[in-house]
Structure 1
Amino acid sequence: MNLTIELQKIIWTIINFIVLGLILRHFFIKPVNKIMDDRKNGINTSIKNAKDNEEKAENSRIEKDKLLHDSKSKGREIVEEYKVKAQNISQEIIDDAKKESVTLMDRSRVEIEREKEKAASEIQKQVIDLSLILSERALEKHIDEKEHRKLIEDFIVKVGS
């Protein structure tokens, strides 16, 4: 075996290897790297989209929870508002009933007072008539009725005072 180093073969082999490397790099490695980069970018985009969708879903859940809480609070406020309105209306009805009661009592008192005055007037009239009859019998003479009534009314006024 002959171990001689042939410099020319080594140089041609190195040149062939470099040319082959450049050809492979140009036609195979660059496209493969481009495909790998595109795939990497696609995966990164998918991961980013998944994270964005997850954030959107979380934000939607938080917003839904907030809306539910707000709705419950608003519902409670509406119930409380109507409860207060109902209490106010109830109080107004009670107040109106009390006012009506007082008005009826006042009217009744006025009516009673009128009836009392009417009864007193009627009694006074009867007393005058009785006095007239009694005085006629007592005096046994007949005095003019107008004059006699005037005397009795004056007498009752003096006695009544």
Structure 2
Amino acid sequence: MEIKISTLIMNWINFGIIILILRHFFWNKIKGIIEERQNLIDQKISKADEDAEKARMYLVKNEQILQSAKEEGKKITEGQREKGDKLYAEIVQNAKTEANSLKERASLEIEREKEKAEYEIKKQAVDLAIELSVKALGQQIDEDTHRKLIGDFIAKVGM
């Protein structure tokens, strides 16, 4: 089996042309999709932070309520004071638990959306590369082989 230099050079030129075409026509679209997903994720993080801030405000409010309950507790018997302390601890624990729960749910949702976006982008890139390479080469190649080659390329590029 003999390798011809001219064939090798033409293959590299064809490959370079395909890369330039992909970059020219699709790079901004893919970049836009990624930015859109990132903005969505940022919004969800912002909402989670707002929810955490609300939880902190509720915690402060609960602490104020507890303080007034302590002042009244001085006038009431020792049993009433213990009851108020118990209620305070329960409210604080519930607020913390709820805040942690909200953060965890938001983090999981963000991670799922990120994985979904990455999967969609990879899938779209493979489909576009298959269509372009078939058009550029002017012949039909086995689709499984084609997908494998393009998947290997994307894995090497690091998408």
What TM-score, normalized by structure 2, do the two folds share?
0.49
Choose 1 or 2 for highest CA Rg: 1
Greater relative contact order (Cα 8 A, min sep 6): structure 1 or 2? Answer: 2
What TM-score, normalized by structure 1, do the two folds share?
0.49
